């Protein structure tokens, strides 16, 4: 019905998709308000972002919180109430916030404030809210922001790449006597993992492996809020490793990718998709891993745990909750974690404490897996003494899987993780996954930039006048052009180089040009 700000350009295809994704697509008798989220592939070519950002945010934010380039997130607040004046006897409306940032907590909290007002006062309310949001500062990683909206100040800290993984968020102290007292959000994005994973706690190991390997997976849930929370919880359980596959927290049969995902002529794509329509049981039967969750049931004090079942049992529309897969885990279950969580339930330990336990366990598991890879990757970097000013920097040596496997004997995950199992098999399978590819490219890019930076520093330390003594004009001009190109690249790619180093290289260039004949100087100055 309406889009704010008015100048935000969406294609017709995107508008249609957003409309379908903003309503529950299977009948849930629930009345009242529900919140959920979705992720949508951008249609049409790249569009410039309304934010003046030179890429600084993505360089400084954790990899898992980078601004998306080709997808939008949609955060939905849906209201359904009986209303006899309506043709269907119900008032049904959704307010949706669209962003490229995965700040699920911040945006859902914002919607809780705005949506009830909007359903009451309509457009003028949105106009007032947008005027306030326009004044918000940009999200700078590492900063604590105070965000005023509708008489409330939301206070959040934007995580930064230099935060220590697993450290608790810095206690926010710059209250500056804010009145009214701010609404402090402990995290912009972290879900209550314990609540999300309640029916599958005993299978957390298996789910972590499936995510690590980028396996295709369907989450079938009774409602969009359950499906979207489960998918977001699954994709977040690899942090600080980035989940590099596609994921759809909520997906409907009207989606433009429906045909692509349900075709049986090719293997299912590497994606986690959350659905609620029972029709998907038929169309996605050929997928290798299907997690069916029901409404949460308790058996005594404990949440009822789903069982692992054979895929062949997935026949009927009223399929029982379970993990339908023939996957065999590489690592053994961590019984101590499960015992600690169960003890916490019996002692009525708060959910956020349980979530912190769970998050720490997953973090340690991911780090045990990734640290040997990081060590091996670092060993491929050329020695610093091999970097000389007048030659191109040496290449990073190629990643050899067999060499890496040999290195595990004395520096493998067994040093930091008590879990036994077939770690080698897990690595072999990981090498075939998009997550390895994404991790490797990112590391390789960082190392190449580091080499470039070291090379620039080596040039600064060199005696340029001595080098020029026996060189021809052609060689000297060639050096000027190469140095210029390096300088431009260092600035464009924001290489990790000190500003003074760049200024010295710039001075070098001027010195060299100054030593050349005037006609050449004129050409080079142009």
**Is 489 within a domain?**
yes
Q: Cα(289)–Cα(208) distance, rounded to whole angstroms?
A: 13
Cβ atoms within 10 Å, residue 66? 18
**Which of 158, 185, 212 is a domain's end point?**
185
One domain for residues 150 and 202 = no
Does 301 share its domain with 401?
yes
Q: What is the pLDDT along the chain (526 residues), one digit of tens a residue?
A: 888 888 888 888 899 999 999 998 766 566 789 999 999 988 876 666 655 566 788 889 998 999 988 899 999 999 988 888 877 778 888 999 999 999 999 999 999 999 999 988 888 889 899 999 999 999 999 999 999 999 899 999 999 988 887 665 555 455 555 556 788 989 999 999 999 998 999 999 999 999 999 999 999 999 999 999 999 999 999 989 999 999 999 999 888 888 888 888 888 899 999 999 888 888 888 889 999 998 877 766 778 888 888 877 766 656 788 899 999 999 998 889 989 998 998 898 898 899 999 999 999 999 999 999 999 999 999 988 888 887 888 899 999 999 999 998 887 887 777 788 899 999 999 999 999 999 999 999 999 999 988 888 888 888 877 777 887 888 878 888 888 888 888 888 888 888 888 888 888 888 888 888 887 777 777 6
Query: Given 413, 448, 483, which residue is the final one in a domain?
Result: 448
Whether 142 and 202 map to the same domain: the answer is no
The reply to whether 163 and 289 lie within a common domain is no
476: left (phi over 0), alpha (psi -120 to 50) or beta: alpha
Strand ranges in 282-401 using DSSP code E only, listed in sequence order: 289-292, 298-299, 302-303, 308-309, 322-325
Instruction: Judge if 156 and 256 occupy the same domain.
Output: no
Burial 405-424 (b: 16+ CB within 10 A, else e): beebeeebbeeebebebebe
Sign of CA dihedral 434, 435, 441, 442: positive
Is residue 4, in this structure, part of any structural domain at all?
A: no
Domain boundary among 390, 422, 448: 448
pLDDT the model gives residue 519: 77
CA distance 481 to 474: 11
Taking the C-alpha atoms of residue 273 and residue 142, their distance in angstroms, rounded to an integer, is: 32
pLDDT at 318: 61
Domain count of the chain?
3
Residue 100 belongs to some domain of the structure: yes
The answer to whether residue 357 sits within a structural domain is yes
Distance separating alpha carbons of residues 447 and 445, to the nearest angstrom: 5
Co-location of 414 and 298 in the same domain? yes
Task: Give the SS3 label for residue 242.
Answer: coil
Judgement on whether residues 21 and 88 belong to the same structural domain of the protein: yes
Residues 215 and 148 in one domain: no
Token readout for 230 is 């489960």
- Assess whether 286 and 309 both reside in one domain: yes
* d(C-alpha 50, C-alpha 68), whole Å: 14
Domain shared by 484 and 360, yes or no: no
Contact between residue 38 and residue 225 where contact means Cβ atoms under 8 Å apart: no
Residues 211 and 164 in one domain: no
Full residue range of the structural domain in which residue 513 is found: 463-525
What's the predicted TM-score (pTM) here?
Answer: 0.89
Q: What is the CATH number of the domain that holds 297?
A: 3.40.50.11500
Whether 237 is in a domain gets the answer: yes
d(CA 44, CA 36): 25
Task: Say if 310 falls within a structural domain.
Answer: yes
Q: Do 161 and 299 belong to one domain?
A: no
pLDDT at 414: 75
Close Cβ partners of 91 (under 8 Å, ≥ 6 residues apart): 79, 80, 81, 82, 83
Give domain status of residue 16, yes or no.
yes
525 backbone φψ class: left, alpha, beta (φ>0; ψ -120 to 50): alpha
Residue 473: CA atoms inside 13 Å, Cβ hemisphere, count?
Answer: 10
Q: Could you tell me if residue 512 is inside a domain?
A: yes
pLDDT at 45: 67
């Amino acid at each position: 019905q309406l889009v704010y700000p008015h100048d935000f350009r969406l294609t017709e295809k995107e508008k249609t998709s957003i409309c379908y994704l903003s309503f529950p697509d299977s009948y849930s008798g629930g009345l009242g308000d529900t919140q959920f989220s979705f992720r949508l592939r951008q249609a049409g070519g790249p569009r410039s972002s309304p934010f003046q950002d030179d890429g600084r945010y993505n360089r400084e934010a954790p990899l898992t919180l980078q601004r998306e380039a080709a997808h939008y997130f949609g955060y939905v607040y849906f209201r359904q109430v009986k209303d006899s004046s309506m043709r269907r006897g119900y008032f049904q409306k959704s307010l949706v916030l669209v962003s490229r940032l995965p700040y699920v907590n911040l945006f859902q909290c914002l919607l809780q404030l705005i949506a009830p007002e909007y359903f009451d006062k309509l457009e003028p309310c949105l106009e007032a809210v947008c005027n306030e949001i326009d004044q918000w500062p940009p999200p700078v990683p590492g900063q604590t922001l105070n965000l005023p909206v509708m008489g409330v100040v939301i206070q959040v800290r934007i995580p930064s790449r230099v935060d220590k993984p697993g450290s608790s968020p810095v206690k926010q102290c710059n209250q500056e006597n804010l009145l009214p007292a701010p609404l402090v959000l402990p995290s912009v994005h972290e879900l209550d993992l314990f609540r999300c994973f309640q029916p599958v706690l005993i299978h957390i190991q298996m789910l972590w492996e499936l995510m690590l390997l980028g396996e295709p997976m369907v989450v079938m849930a009774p409602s969009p809020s359950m499906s979207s929370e489960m998918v977001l919880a699954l994709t977040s359980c690899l942090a600080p490793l980035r989940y590099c596959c596609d994921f759809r927290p909520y997906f409907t049969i009207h989606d433009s990718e429906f045909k692509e995902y349900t075709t049986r002529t090719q293997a299912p794509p590497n994606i986690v998709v959350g659905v609620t329509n029972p029709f998907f049981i038929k169309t996605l039967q050929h997928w290798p891993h299907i997690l069916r969750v029901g409404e949460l049931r308790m058996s005594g004090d404990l949440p009822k745990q789903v069982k692992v079942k054979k895929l062949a049992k997935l026949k009927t529309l009223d399929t029982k909750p379970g993990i339908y897969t023939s996957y065999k885990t590489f690592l053994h279950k961590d019984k101590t974690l499960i015992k600690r969580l169960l003890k916490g339930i019996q002692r009525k330990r708060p959910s956020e404490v349980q979530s912190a336990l769970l998050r720490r366990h997953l973090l340690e598991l991911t780090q045990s897996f990734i640290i040997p890879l990081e060590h091996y990757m670092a060993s491929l970097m050329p020695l610093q003494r091999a970097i000389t000013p007048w030659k191109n920097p040496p290449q990073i040596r190629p990643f050899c899987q067999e060499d890496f496997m040999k290195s595990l004997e004395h520096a493998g995950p067994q040093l930091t993780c008590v879990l036994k199992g077939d770690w080698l098999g897990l690595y072999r399978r990981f090498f075939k996954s998009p997550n390895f590819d994404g991790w490797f490219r990112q590391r390789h890019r960082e190392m190449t930039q580091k080499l470039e930076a070291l090379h620039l520093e080596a040039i600064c330390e060199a005696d340029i006048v001595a080098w020029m003594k026996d060189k021809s004009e052609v060689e000297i001009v060639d050096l000027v052009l190469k140095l210029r190109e390096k300088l431009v690249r260092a600035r464009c790619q924001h290489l990790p180089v000190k500003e003074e180093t760049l200024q010295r290289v710039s001075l070098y260039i001027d010195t060299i040009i100054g030593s050349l004949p005037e006609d050449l100087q004129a050409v080079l100055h142009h």
